Amino acid sequence: MNIPRWLAAAALSASLAGTFTTSADDSSATIAALLQRIGQLEEKVVALEKTRPSAVSPAPAPSAATVDAARIASLEQQVKVLDRKNELAHEAATEKAKTAPVLTAGPGGFQLRSADTNFVIKLRGYAQADARFFPDDNAGGTVNDQFLMRRVRPILEGTLYEKYDFRIMTDFASGITSSAANNGFLQDGYLTARFYPEFQVQAGKFKEPVGLERLQSGANLLFIERAYPTQLVPNRDVGFQVQGDLAGGRLNYQVGAFNGVANGGSGDADTTDDDKDIAARLFATPFKDSDNNWIRGLGFGVAGTLGDQEGNATASNLRSAVSPGQQRIFGYRSGAGTNAATANVVADGRIWRVSPQFYHYIGPFGILGEFVVSNQQVRRDDGAKTFAQLENTAWQVAASWFLTGEDNSFKAVAPRKPFTLGGEGWGAFEVAARISQLDIDDATFPLYANAASAATRATSWGVGLNWHLNKNIKAGLDYEQTDLGSGSSPLLDHGEKAVLTRAQVSF
């Protein structure tokens, strides 16, 4: 035990103080006593010094378990810090993802959308390179073999504020100009407001809801060229319509008002009259949710138009008819003058169309059919301005079968095994057959058309093979043969034999 030196000094002082109180006579005894006392105190100090440790003993070394425990505790603390940093980073990324746009690319095209999907921009399109071969093109007056770009159509579409869809599609194909008579550079340009599935409003330029095959996308056609019924129904027109799905999507309706176009025609504007056409369509797929494969793909409906159209010397509002090889096979008289050969014929009065239609798809098999009646009043610009109400009809039945087993559909079909060089996939192979007929009203001849150069009836049959290499690449080969009755032109006299091919890319 270590006694402080101040304590020892204090004790000595106390002892001395007590000693000096004695008398002088006792000084010798006192001194002796003090010396003895000092000796005792020194002995006590020495004893106390011996009991005090000479140095502080070092702390014992920690054990291995203690070291491991300390290390684990340190690592756990580091893990907790890292976990918290990750949580903060995840929270920051989540907040950023809520506002960051998303860019994607795939078989369906390129898409840029907002994080909440309320704003979407899509870039799509398709192009078709065709070849037409005519075995009888050595006959005078018939067209020659040719290569052409049938369709080159970039498509921009998207969604605004979740409920408003738009679509803009142009065409750079061979022979396309800005004139309405040539179908126009602008194919589609419209806005659709999807207020409810049962009630939507569409406005702009788009297909009138009439022909079944006309409503099918040009990229999904069974044959390279559409059949005759499409030539008696309107194509694209400017107007607006209401549409929607009822009964859980089993019944679709469309009804709208349009400028009005000629049979098979399109238009961007109407400058010939103030009248408008009404178009409507009902189409039912009553078994679309059925477990029975035999009836699930059945769809049927009816469509039609009603209006008044008026033509003039520069815009007759009447169109010619063409064969599967796109050769002109029928046209109304046109020219100047009042005699039978040169009198001009134009649309002037009531026009109505009716088209019952159906399709049925069962596994790899598919069939579609439609019938069209087009009743139109025309005027002959002779001295008497002769009028006639002419009724033309057309029909078709087309069937196809996927040899590779894919489920057939009115829309695009994706191969089960896309084609790959050196691989096992060969894509999807589809065989098709079709028969179609156009019948011109007998009252058309001879005042309104020349039977020597215009067919009174055209009957065409064809077979085809489609090779879907993948969802985006398709090749087609068709053979079409047409009987046109008789006439003075080589085409009418011999009919048409056409071999049509197509290479198509779509995305």
Dihedrals phi, psi of 393, to nearest 5 degrees: -130, 160
Under 8 Å between Cβ of 253 and 222: no
pLDDT reported for residue 313: 82
What is the token pair recorded at 356? 């019952």
pLDDT reported for residue 72: 83
Provide the residue type at 482 as one letter. T
- From first to last of its 507 residues, the chain has per-residue pLDDT tens of 444 554 444 444 444 444 444 444 555 676 676 667 777 776 776 777 666 655 555 556 677 777 778 888 888 888 888 888 888 888 887 777 778 899 999 999 999 999 888 999 999 999 999 999 998 876 655 688 999 999 999 999 999 999 999 999 999 998 765 444 445 589 999 999 999 999 999 999 999 999 999 999 999 999 999 999 999 999 999 999 999 999 999 999 999 999 999 999 999 988 788 899 999 999 999 999 999 999 999 999 999 999 999 998 888 999 999 999 999 999 999 876 666 667 899 999 999 999 999 999 999 999 999 999 999 999 998 878 899 999 999 999 999 999 999 999 999 999 999 999 888 899 999 999 999 999 999 999 999 999 988 999 999 999 999 999 999 999 999 999 999 976 667 778 789 999 999 999 999
What is the token pair recorded at 365? 């098999």
pLDDT reported for residue 17: 46
Reported as type and span, the H/E element at residue 296 is: helix 293-296
Of the candidates 194, 204, 124, the residue with the CA atom closest to the CA atom of residue 162: 194
pLDDT reported for residue 25: 53
Provide the residue type at 294 as one letter. W
Give the 3-state secondary structure of residue 358: strand
Q: ∠ CA(376), CA(490), CA(501), 5° rounding?
A: 80
**Any bridge partners for residue 348, and if so which?**
310
Can you say whether the dihedral through the CA atoms of 379, 381, 384, 385 is positive or negative?
Answer: positive
pLDDT reported for residue 179: 43
pLDDT reported for residue 348: 95
What is the token pair recorded at 470? 């993948």
Residues 6+ apart with CB under 8 A from 389: 349, 350, 375, 376, 377
CA 443 – CA 458 distance, rounded (Å): 16
CA 192 – CA 177 distance, rounded (Å): 26
Of the candidates 425, 463, 298, 414, the residue with the CA atom closest to the CA atom of residue 365: 298
**Any bridge partners for residue 500, and if so which?**
132, 478
Predicted TM-score (pTM) of the model is 0.80
Architecture of domain 125-152+207-506: Beta Barrel (2.40)
What is the token pair recorded at 309? 């159209």
Provide the residue type at 70 as one letter. A
